[in-house]
A and B are shown apart, each in its own frame.
Chain A
Amino acid sequence: MTSDGTSLRTADMEPDELLESGQARSPMPPPTRPQTSAPAAAAVAPAKPGLSVRLEKLRAFYGSSEQVKGIDLDFHANEVTAIIGPSGCGKSTMVRCINRMHEEIPGARAEGRVLLDELDVYDSSVDVVAVRRAIGMVFQKPNPFPTMSIFDNVASGLRLSSRRSGDLRPKVETALRGAGLWDEVSERLDEPGAGLSGGQQQRLCIARSLAVNPEVILMDEPCSALDPIATLKIEELIAELKQSVTIVIVTHNMQQAARVADRTAFMLSGELVEVGPTQEIFTNPTDPRTEEYVTGKFG
């Protein structure tokens, strides 16, 4: 697929173009996928598949200390992959390497390859800005832009990353519906995003990353600052979103991994111990360390 090579290399690509090229190079047949019986969110979610991500010998460093020690891992397209493991095992660092946010930290660097579909995002010809548009990210703490309204927050990704910004309303509505937030905020799009509740703010942040039509969304403990009900909503949302994007979710909460993930990877001290279907990891792990962790013997 040669189109892959060029599509990420244009710094000022429109989200639309990204979407189109995403369809063009998609390894799966586009729109005709089975609709779930469920909510409006799924019905309006952009009908386009996510892309697979493959890590090859990924190593990440902070200065001279190695936090991720050579990981090979596949994230299947349109699946939810959960990363579990004790604090400080390198889960977040690994995930931040996927959209090259790791290198934003002074002194941090990464080695190895991260293949988005078939394109190495660390290739010297790849524009880091285009990588981040294709691979969105949701952070631990909800962080809507404090100076912007709800509408502007969702539109921010489109405005910040492209020069022309046409009519943003339909895109904003689609993104908010996709994040299951439209019904709650459609009457007050001009109010500050920071005025929403924590759970709503986090869904606003998800809408914000959906608006630029990414192929992959990375979630770094997206529910750890939320109450159980808001957490439940986000988890339902994740199940719907995987129809249009590939999701990687870092979580401390093993029940959460069991609820939302198709596959689960267990990490320990910067190494990948085991990866497999979630069911298997939790009920019949092959590695004794995985078993000890999921049964609560440590971590």
Chain B
Amino acid sequence: MSAQSPAPDQLARFNVSPARRRKDKIARNTILAGTLLALIPLALIVYYLLLKGLGSWSLSFFTTDPTGNTFFKSSSIGGIKSAILGTVEIVALASAIAVPIGVGVAVWLVEYGKSSWFAQMVRFFVDVLTGVPSIVFGLFIYIVLVVGTGSSFAGYKGSLALSLLMLPVVIRSAEVILMLIPGALRESALALGAPRWRVIFSVVLPTALPGMVTGVLLAIARAAGETAPLLFTAAATNKTNFNLGQFMNSLPVQIYSDVTSPTTAVVNRAWGAALTLVVMILLLNLIARLIARRSRLA
């Protein structure tokens, strides 16, 4: 290597023409502008939620049930305790139903069904299910379990409606992740003399876990924010309730009923509840990611 720097004409062939530089700059800035544009609504939502919601946050906001009193300024309107607990209960049951079934269907599709006609049919119906409006799931459960049985609203019926909503999201996201697991991993486990079910449980699913957590969280986040499927299934109530067989309050339904109130304090409670919902999903996201990261060695 010589200490001398190369002659300018030697470097000239590496020069990029000004026109190309300009085009590169325009392309880059266009992409940047698009990204920023997409971030505007997100930033605005978070900003308004914090602006309007933080004001109604207080200790009693989280520790008292709504009183149902929404007209008289003299008396307290209460907090959202029953709604928070109701959402946690309903969504937890819905996840407990949808996640195992959804992952099971995805495993079947990828490991057994592959491209058989039946598997293709299942995929098609799962896709159709993804496009069904959430209120239809609510109506379905309402017709079958509320009207059909002649009984009343109950928390578990809301859970069922939400689990139907979550199912296609869980199946499709889990399927995509399972298909990403290299076939060589399955083969090497099979070649060790492992039965197929052991390969799935001990090699395929652990490898897919971090990716699946993302899909499951997406489904949970979507379900937790749904109002429509809960309106005719779990209904709205003020009391905190730990019995999934009874009426159960939830954050979306609380927001829905509060936001139409003529009383400012009650509308503000809706903002506070909305902020609570967002923060809860954010926390769930963080916790699940930490767990998934810890459970993975690499």
Contact = CB atoms under 8 A, between A and B. Distances in A.
Contacts of B203: 145, 147, 156, 160
Contacts of A195: 298
Contact of A139 (B187, B193, B198, B202): B187
Contact of B191 (A11, A106, A130, A209): A209
B297 A149 contact: yes
Interface in B170-217: 182, 184-195, 198-199, 202-203, 206-207, 209
A187 B172 CA distance: 42
B297 A133 contact: no
Contact of B206 (A137, A147, A149): A147
Q: Give the size category of A's interface with B.
A: 20 to 34
B136 to A, nearest CB: 36
A224 to B, nearest CB: 14
Contacts, number: 88
Given A147-B207, A160-B198, A139 B192 contact: no
Contact of A145 (B114, B189, B198): B189
Given A141-B184, A192-B297, A101 B191 contact: yes
A148 to B, nearest CB: 7
B293 interface: no
A208 interface: yes
Contacts of A156: 189, 192, 194, 202-203
A147 B297 CA distance: 5
B192 A208 contact: yes
Contact of B184 (A143, A194, A208, A212): A143
A133 B188 contact: no
Interface in B21-38: none
Contacts of A149: 297
Interface string A227-241: 000000000000000
Nearest to A211: B192
B193 A143 contact: no
B193 A130 contact: yes
A93 to B, nearest CB: 14
Interface string B90-133: 00000000000000000000000011000000000000000000
Interface string A108-151: 00000000000000000000011111101101010101111100
Nearest to B191: A137
Contact of A209 (B187, B192, B198, B297): B192
B222 interface: no
B187 A129 contact: no
A290 interface: no
B298 A212 contact: no
A216 B184 CA distance: 20
Given A156-B202, A159-B202, A145 B207 contact: yes
Contacts of B190: 101, 104, 132
Task: Name the residue in B186, B191, B298 with the highest tally of chain A Cβ atoms < 10 Å from its Cβ.
Answer: B191
Interface string B236-262: 000000000000000000000000000
Contact of B182 (A131, A143, A205): A143
A146 B181 CA distance: 10
A106 B183 CA distance: 12
A132 B297 contact: no
Contacts of A192: 297-298
Contacts of A137: 188, 191
B192 A157 contact: yes
A161 interface: yes
B188 A139 contact: yes
A156 B204 CA distance: 13
A193 B281 CA distance: 34
A99 interface: yes
Nearest to B115: A106
Nearest to B184: A143
B194 A129 contact: yes
Interface string B209-232: 100000000000000000000000
7 pairs of A and B residues whose beta carbons are closest in the complex: A133-B193, A160-B194, A137-B191, A157-B192, A192-B297, A132-B193, A147-B206
Given A129-B195, A161-B194, 13 more contacts: A101-B190, A106-B114, A131-B193, A136-B192, A137-B188, A143-B184, A143-B185, A143-B188, A145-B188, A147-B298, A149-B297, A157-B192, A161-B195
23 contacts: A99-B191, A101-B190, A104-B187, A129-B193, A130-B193, A133-B193, A137-B191, A143-B185, A143-B188, A145-B185, A147-B209, A147-B297, A147-B298, A148-B297, A149-B297, A156-B192, A156-B202, A156-B203, A159-B202, A160-B192, A161-B194, A194-B298, A208-B188
Interface of A: 11, 99, 101, 104, 106, 129-134, 136-137, 139, 141, 143, 145-149, 156-157, 159-161, 192, 194-195, 205, 208-209, 212
